[in-house]
Amino acid sequence: MPEIIPSLLIAGDMNYCFDTNTYHHSHRAGKPKQFMEFLNTHFSDCLNPRNEPHAYTFERGSTMSTLDYMFAGQDIASNMSDATNSFLRPEWTDHALVTKTYTTGLTNCGEGIWRVNPHLAKNPRYRQKLAGEIERFVSTKLDYNLSAQDKWDLIKRKTKQVTINFARHHDTWRKARIKALQSERNNLLRRYRNDIECLKLLLPDVEGEQSKLQQEIVEIQMLKAGRRWLEQSENSPGYIKHTIDQRVDQRTIAMLKHPSTGDACLDTETKLNAAESFYQDLYTEEPIDMDCLNTMLGHIDRTVSPEDATMIMEPIDYDDILDGARRTPKQSSPGLDGIGYEILYLLVSHPSCRDIIHQVFNDAVRLAKFPKSWQASCIIILHKKGDKSDLANYRPITLTAADCKVFTRIMNSRVVQVANRIITPYQCGFLPGRYIGDHGMSLQMIIDNAQSASWRNLSNFIAYAGIMLNNAKAYDRVHPKYLSQVLLKFGFPEAFVTCITNLFFDNSIYVNVNGFLTGAISQRRGIRQGDSISPVLFNLAIEPFLLSIVNNVNLSGYSLQHVKLLHQIQNPWISPAPIKVLAYADDVLSFVKLQAELVELQERLRVYNRASNAKINYSKSVAFPLHDSAMKSTDGQQIKQYVTTQLQMKWYDSHSTEPSSPTSSHSNHLYTTIALVTLISSPFSTH
C-alpha cells in the first residue's frame, strides 16, 4: 500500500468540511481525525490554498457549504495545475464543478475531419454574419466565368472560413465571459458570505447567464458524444463525458494486421498503410466475364415504363432542394467539407445561392456533372465482430457531403417507386410496402409444414435443406460495368445510368483510422454504404441472380407437403406455388431437395460472381434441414455431404453441437433470427 500512495488521487463528495477556519468544521460531530492525519501526511489539497477559507462547493436552498475535495499524492500533485471551482446549472446538480488539470502523455488519436457545430445555425449573430459574408462573396469575389459546380464549392469553402473564424472568436469570448462571471460570483460569495438574503438577490442574474453559456458547451459535448439525451436521468455532464470516453474506446483501433504481410501494425503510420492497402484492394475492380454478364442480363424480364423513365429524368425543383435540406435528419454526419444539414439549409435558402445550387442539382441529373466535393468522401470503419485487428471484420460507412446526400435522396425517391414495380416480390429489402416479417412468416410456415409432414406423413415426406448464403463485402464489390448494364437492361434512361456511375465510381475516398486519414484511395467498384440510394441500387444489381433462381426449371423450390396420409384427405387440396428463394438485400435463402439442385445453385452463383465481382463466402454460409432433424433419406444425406465437404459450409440440425444452431430450441423460429440479424446488422444507418 505505501508504495502506491504517491500515485493516488482521492476525490469526491466527502460529506464533510475540512476547513478548520470556519464553523462548518466545528459544528459536525465525529471528526475523522485519523483520516485527516493521513491526508495531511501524504496528500496535497488540490483545490484550496493553505490558510484561506475553502470555497463553497454545495448549495441547496439557503444552505451553502464545502463538501467536495480533491487530494493528490506527491507524484500526481507535481503534474497538476490550474484548479477551478465553477458554478453549474441547478438543473444538473447542487454541487459545484471542481477541476484540476493533470498533464499526461499524448493520445494516439488524431483530430479527425473538421465539422461545423450545427448549433451555430440557431445563433442569430452567426446567421447574420454568414448571410452578409456570402452575399458579399458572391457579388464581389466569385468569378462568374466559373462553372456552377466550382462556384458552389467555393461558396462552401467560404462558409468554412467564416464559420471557423466566428467559432474561434465566439469560443474565446465565451471562455472569457464564463471566467468573468465566475469571478463575479466568487466576489459576491466572499463579500456577502454571511448575508444569505443578499446573495439570494444578487446571484440569480450571474448564475442565469452562466447557465446559458454552460448549456452551449454541453451541446458541443453532446455532438462529440454522438448521442442525444433521451431521458431526464441522462441530463448530466457526467453522462455526456462518459459517453464520449465510451465512443472513443469503441472506435479506437489498438492494432491492425497488414493485409499483405500479416505484420502487426501498432503505430499510426503503419495502421494507415494497412488500411489504405486493404481498401485500395477492396475497391479495385477485377475483370468480369462478358459471357456471364450477358447470361445474367438475359434473366431480366421486366423494364421501366416510358412514363417512369420520363419521371426519373424530370428537372429538380428548387423547392425540392430546399425541402430536402430542411427535412433531412439533423443528427447525420457531414462529409469532408464539414458542412451539416443545418448550415447547408442556410446556404440553400440564401438568395445569392439559389440559382447556383439549382443548376448544380440539374446538371447532376442531365449531364452527370458534379462539384468536386461530391466526389471525395471519408470512410469510418465500425467493428462488426471477430478479430479487431482484421480489417475484414469492419464495416465501412461512407460520409459524403450533405448536399450530395440531398441529391441522392431526391433521386432515390424517384427510383424506389419504379424499382418496387420491377423487382421480384421475393426481395423484401429497403422497398416500400415490403417487410422482412412477411418473409419470416413464410419461412415459419415452411418450417412448420416440413416438421409436421416429417412425422405425420413420413411415407410421402420429402426432406429439404435451406441454404443461407453469405455475400462477402456485398455492397463494396459491385462492378461499375455490371451495374450500368443491369440498369440499362431494366430500361433506366442512359443519362440516369451515367449519372449514377459517375457519382459512385472513380471517386477519392479517405479512411479514418483513430482520427487520422489515409491517402486518397480510388474507388473503382462498390456502392458506398450510408447513401440513401445505395440499397435500391444493390437490389437492382442482385435482381438478375434472384431471377436466375426463380425462373430456373432445374430448381424446384419448396412446395407445401401433405401433413395427412392420402387416404385421410377428404377435400381436394392444391399447393400454392413453390418458394425458391427469399432475400433481404444481400441476405439470400434458397431451398433444395436434391444434390443436383444444390449443384445448379452453385453454378448460378458462379455465373453471378464472374459477371459482377460478387463473392460468396461459403465458410460463413450455412445450411440446415427444414424439418430440424437428421437427413435420413439418400437425397438428404447427399445434400449434407456436398454442403460440408465440397462447399465447406456449416451444417446445422437437431444433432448439431453448435449453440448458435439456427434450428436449436433457442431459435427454432428461424425467421425471427433472420429478421433480427439482418435488421441489426444493416449497414444503412442514417448519415
SS3 category, 523: strand
The DSSP code sequence of 611-643 is HH---B-GGG-EEEETTSS---SHHHHHHHHII
Whole-number pLDDT of residue 680: 34
The DSSP code sequence of 197-255 is HHHHHHHHHHHHHHHHHHHHHHHHHHHHHT----SGGG-SHHHHHHHHHHHHHHH----
The DSSP code sequence of 375-410 is GEEEEEEEE-SS-TT-GGGEEEEEE--HHHHHHHHH
Nearest to 271, CA basis, from 252, 262, 258: 258
Edge-to-edge strand list for the sheet holding 587-592: 581-584, 587-592, 465-469, 622-625, 650-651
The separation between CA 258 and the C-alpha centre of its own chain, rounded to angstroms, equals: 25
Residue with cell 401433405: 562
Query: How far is Cα 107 from Cα 244, in angstroms, rounded to an integer?
Result: 14
Query: How far is Cα 424 from Cα 434, in angstroms, rounded to an integer?
Result: 11
Mean pLDDT per 10-residue section of the chain, whose length is 687 residues: 81 82 51 80 87 85 85 85 83 86 67 89 96 98 96 98 96 93 91 87 91 86 57 46 52 90 94 98 98 98 97 98 84 89 97 98 98 97 90 94 97 97 96 92 92 91 96 96 99 98 96 95 95 97 98 97 72 82 96 98 98 95 92 96 96 64 38 41 37
The separation between CA 53 and the C-alpha centre of its own chain, rounded to angstroms, equals: 51
Question: From its phi and psi, is residue 64 left (phi > 0), alpha (psi between -120 and 50) or beta?
Answer: beta
Q: Which residues of 450-475 are buried (b: 16+ CB within 10 A; e: fewer)?
A: bbbbbeebeeebbbbbbbbbbbbbbb
Phi, psi of 521, deg, nearest 5 = -115, 130
Whole-number pLDDT of residue 100: 86
Whole-number pLDDT of residue 150: 98
Reading the block at residue 346, the C-alpha cell is 442556410
